[in-house]
């Protein structure tokens, strides 16, 4: 049976009546703060999409034609990521759902990056910038996965 931890990555002391605390789970702490960084990133992304601020990293396809109403819809949908990652930062049992959602996002971006539909609006321009952004998001996913797995093994 897996040991339980509090939301701050500290394992409760078996001496319940005493104030002593065991060593914090460093990997769980890194995971928690990394998830909170995701919350901040997704908040910025939602604001950028809502106001049409087309900056790379906040707007993956920043230089393609778009309709403002589509970006408003995306901004509302990104709020689901904000809520999911905030909940995952507070409750370890939710982390797998956050990892799966991010993995599906990376796969979806990769499919769009290689699509004929995107190529048709780029007029021969390269997709390098989109692949870099997709790679950075995949790197964030890998980072979270590593610390999720490490935190499960650390006493």
Give 135's pLDDT tier (boundaries 50, 70, 90).
very high
Q: What predicted TM-score, i.e. pTM, was given to this entire model? A: 0.82
For residue 61, which of 139, 138, 115, 140 has the smallest C-alpha distance? 115
In angstroms, how far is the first alpha carbon of the chain from the final one? Answer: 13
Distance in angstroms (rounded) separating the CA atoms of residues 86 and 89? 5
10 Å CB burial of residue 153 (0-12, 13-18, 19+) is exposed
Structure letter (DSSP) for residue 7: T
Chain-wide mean pLDDT for the chain?
A: 89
């Amino acid at each position: 049976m897996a040991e339980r931890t509090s939301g701050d990555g500290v394992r409760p002391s078996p001496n319940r009546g005493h104030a002593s605390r065991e060593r914090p789970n460093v990997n769980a702490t890194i995971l928690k703060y990394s998830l909170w960084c995701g919350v901040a990133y997704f908040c910025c992304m939602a604001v950028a999409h809502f106001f049409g601020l087309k900056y790379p990293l906040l707007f993956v396809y920043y230089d393609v034609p778009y309709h403002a109403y589509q970006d408003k819809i995306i901004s509302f949908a990104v709020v689901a990521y904000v809520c999911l990652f905030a909940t995952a930062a507070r409750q370890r049992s939710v982390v797998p759902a956050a990892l799966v959602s991010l993995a599906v996002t990376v796969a979806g971006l990769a499919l769009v990056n290689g699509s004929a539909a995107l190529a048709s609006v780029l007029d021969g321009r390269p997709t390098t910038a989109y692949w870099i952004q997709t790679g950075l998001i995949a790197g964030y996913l890998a980072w979270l996965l590593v610390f999720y797995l490490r935190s499960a093994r650390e006493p």
